Amino acid sequence: MGASGGGHYLRVYAIGEYLIYSPMRTAGTGRFSQYPPIPMIYLKEEVSNLPDQGLAGLKTALQTALELEHATIPPYLYALYSLQPGFNQRVVEMLRSVVLEEMLHMSLCCNLLNAIGGAPVLNAPDFLPVYPGPLPGAVAGVEVPLAPISNTLIKEVFMEIEEPENPLSLPLVPGPLTIGQFYGKIKRQLEQLSHGADIFTGDPGRQLTVGWSGNELIAVRDLNTALQAIETIVEQGEGTTTSPFDGTGELAHYYLFESIYKGYEYLPPTDPSRPADIGAPICLDRAGIRNLITNPTPTQYQGTPAEPLNLAFNRTYTELLEALHATFNGQPTRIFGSIGMMRQLRTEAEDLAQVRLADGTYAGPTFTCVA
């Protein structure tokens, strides 16, 4: 992939009680020689190289990380909105927890950026990506859609977004980085720039300490807290290098999605030699999934009852991003209004989902920025 060509990998991963050793895809082709092709998200080479470009490059890398974390939220929310009230309650809880943790990851990226004297940008017109499309900074490969929940969406998109890096999954030649490797590079550059210099010169008053779920955020004030913030982001998405659970014992996003896909809970192991125990079944009841339109656009809603409802949703989402921008740029109390806006979005998405379209599908939000 890219001018640097492909790299061969070895992956070690767990299925049930077994450790499976298998060759990973070749980075240049995106497929195995003897296994079915599975796309993986790689970042563009110019993005992968950002952390190497001194403090200025590190700031740009953290802004890119912020945009990456945010870009996952609309697809996750859209899948959540496709679940009818009263059905699939366990899946609803799981998706909601992932969204809240992605909001936490956004907040930690902002804290990191503020700590080194940067200024997070959350209200630029292009901060909200176009769907379907690649994640910000990513090469073509996984097209991230707005779509109702399905096993295909979970397997081919959500699990690819959160796919873990194993320390044994090392490329033999340089090439584009995965998201996990990108965070690893940011971590190493923070360590290097901190040797003999104080790079944590940002205003401490711009550190947000109130989390989305009521938990405290890590205030980034030095190298140790910066590394803790990065560890939290990576572990909540991918798990630790030895467990599908993060450092607090919660199931990491990748394995949470995998458990929905496979149809059973993963539980902390009673036997430490196993990565996890198998728990209760998870049934994705299709009767409780709304047939929302896939990848809607405002143009498709013109002249229909969905048009004003979609505009109201998009206006609220734009106001949410404006409030978050203000929160991390000197007005921390704006975070409390943001939490209320998240609840309002759910109500507005419910209103949209009542509108039946001409093709028999139902309306969903377009997540379009409103000027």
Domain coordinates of the chain in residue numbers? 40-295, 296-363
Quick one: which H or E segment has residue 233?
Answer: helix 223-238
pLDDT at residue 321 above 80? Answer: yes
Rounded to an integer, the average pLDDT of 352-365 is: 98
Strand partners for 267: 277
* ∠ CA 157-160-163, rounded to 5°: 150
At the top level of CATH, which class does the domain 40-295 belong to?
mainly alpha
Say what the pLDDT of residue 8 is: 31
- What are the tokens at 316? 């609220």
Contact criterion met (CB below 8 Å) for 187 and 225: no
> CA 239 to CA 242: how far, in whole Å?
8
Residues 6+ apart with CB under 8 A from 290: 81, 82, 83, 84, 148, 353, 362
- What are the tokens at 103? 């909001």
pLDDT at residue 35 above 50? Answer: no
Rounded to an integer, the average pLDDT of 143-150 is: 96
Judged on CB neighbours under 10 Å (0-12, 13-18, 19+), 76 is buried
- What are the tokens at 24? 């990973």
pLDDT at residue 175 above 70? Answer: no
Report which of residues 348 and 12 the model is more confident about: 348
Strand stretches in the chain, DSSP E:
10-15, 18-23, 264-267, 277-281
Summarised one tens digit per residue, pLDDT across range 203-257 is: 999 999 886 665 668 999 999 999 999 998 888 876 555 577 776 778 888 889 9
The helix-helix angle for 334-353 and 73-81 (nearest 10°) equals 40
Say what the pLDDT of residue 22 is: 31
Contact criterion met (CB below 8 Å) for 367 and 74: yes
pLDDT at residue 270 above 50? Answer: yes
- pTM for the full model? 0.85
- What are the tokens at 332? 């921390």
**pLDDT exceeding 70 applies to what percent of the chain?**
82
| Pairing verdict, β 277-281 and 264-267 | antiparallel
Q: How far is CA 299 from CA 168, 303, 311, 313, in A?
A: 47, 9, 11, 15
Average pLDDT, the chain: 83
pLDDT at residue 169 above 60? Answer: no
pLDDT at residue 92 above 60? Answer: yes
Residues 6+ apart with CB under 8 A from 106: 66, 69, 70, 73, 122, 324
Residue 313: HSE in the Cβ half-sphere, 13 Å Cα cutoff: 25
The number of beta carbons lying within 10 Å of the beta carbon of residue 9 is 19
Contact criterion met (CB below 8 Å) for 26 and 7: yes
pLDDT at residue 302 above 60? Answer: yes
